[in-house]
């Protein structure tokens, strides 16, 4: 009986430090917005608002070094031109790492643009942009970042849309040493967000509101210089996400998205990179 109790206790604490789900009061701090961000419904719902005076934002209480991060988001409805809803992982400093989802608003009836980027050691310029195959303002949809030592995979409702592989043996930096916080914000970017800044925010439609629910983190929490995950866990205890990669089905679904919904890929922008596209674009997958 004592052994069973001890095993249950160990498993409880393992879940406690590695996984986090669903309570915004426990998982996040509202960092700016002067009351425009609200935690509601027994901490199961968080809303961000933007008006002409200010936007708003929040930040995770924990830092993570690898993990599978899920968030359900319902974006600003109607005429959202000029607004940006950002949801991303980032460390601090000029040589920071960052993994970005940004949702660029648009005029009523025109599609949102999903903007993705990866920064390593302070260097980004790895943008890929997509239309979505649904209206992201009508219902909540799940936006996921899987970040492990092998790759970073961006997914929407479980469908992978982008992969950034660890190609360090080829001299390409990969984010693996800097723990990151989760951030989200809703802000005005009408100088560039919609049609390159040609369409401005219509403040008569304010306040603009984005909603969040069902946050889930299967992740290694970084605290006081150490990780909640063992540096070399045994195969029996290793979380599935830590070694997860795209299988043939996942690669096929990602190819479908990129063929039908990708609208910008830095790897194909030869005008932007006249001396040659970045090295990761030329390495065979």
Query: Facing residues of 226 across strands?
Result: 223
Residue 246 is given by DSSP the state -
Active-site annotation holder among 98, 163, 239, 280: 98
Q: Is the dihedral of CA 136, 160, 171, 179 positive or negative?
A: positive
Catalytic-labelled residue, pool 102, 163, 239, 280: 102
Is position 163 annotated as part of the catalytic site? Answer: no
Residue with tokens 């498993």: 11
CA–CA distance, 72 with 143 (Å, rounded to integer): 6
Distance CA 150, CA 167 (A): 9
Q: Which two tokens stand for residue 10?
A: 């160990």
Contact present, 48 and 55 (Cβ < 8 Å): yes
Active-site residue flag, 98: yes
- Helix or strand holding residue 221 (H, E): strand 208-223
Q: CA–CA separation, 274 vs 260, rounded Å?
A: 26
Helix (H, G, I), strand (E, B) or coil at 20: strand
Tokens 């194909």 sit at which residue? Answer: 268
CB neighbours of residue 256 within 10 Å: 14
Q: Which of 78, 76, 20, 14 is nearest to 49 (CA)?
A: 76
User: Annotated active-site positions, please?
Assistant: 98, 102
């Amino acid at each position: 009986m004592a052994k069973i109790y001890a095993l249950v206790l160990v498993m409880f604490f393992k879940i406690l430090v590695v996984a986090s789900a669903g309570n915004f009061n426990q998982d996040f701090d509202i960092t700016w917005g002067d009351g425009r961000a609200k935690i509601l419904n027994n901490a199961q719902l968080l809303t961000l608002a933007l008006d002409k005076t200010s936007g708003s934002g929040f930040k995770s209480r924990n830092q993570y070094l690898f993990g599978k991060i899920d968030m359900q988001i319902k974006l600003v409805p109607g005429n959202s031109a000029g607004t940006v809803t950002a949801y991303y992982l980032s460390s601090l400093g000029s040589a920071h790492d960052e993994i970005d989802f940004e949702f660029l608003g648009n005029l009523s009836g025109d599609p949102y643009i999903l903007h993705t980027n990866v920064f390593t050691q302070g260097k980004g310029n790895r943008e890929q942009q997509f239309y979505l195959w649904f209206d992201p303002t009508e219902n909540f949809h799940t936006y996921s970042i899987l970040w492990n030592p092998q790759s970073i995979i961006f997914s929407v409702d479980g469908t992978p849309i982008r992969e950034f592989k660890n190609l360090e043996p080829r001299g390409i930096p990969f984010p693996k040493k800097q723990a990151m916080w989760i951030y989200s914000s809703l802000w005005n970017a009408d100088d560039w967000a919609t049609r390159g800044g040609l369409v401005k925010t219509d403040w008569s439609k304010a306040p603009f509101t984005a909603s969040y629910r069902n946050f889930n983190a299967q992740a290694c929490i970084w605290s006081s210089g150490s990780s909640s995950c063992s540096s070399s866990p045994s195969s029996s205890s290793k979380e599935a996400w830590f070694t997860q990669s795209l299988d043939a089905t996942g690669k096929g679904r990602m190819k479908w998205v990129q063929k039908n919904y990708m609208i910008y890929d830095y790897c194909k922008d030869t005008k932007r990179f006249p001396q040659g596209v970045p090295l990761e674009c030329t390495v065979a997958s």
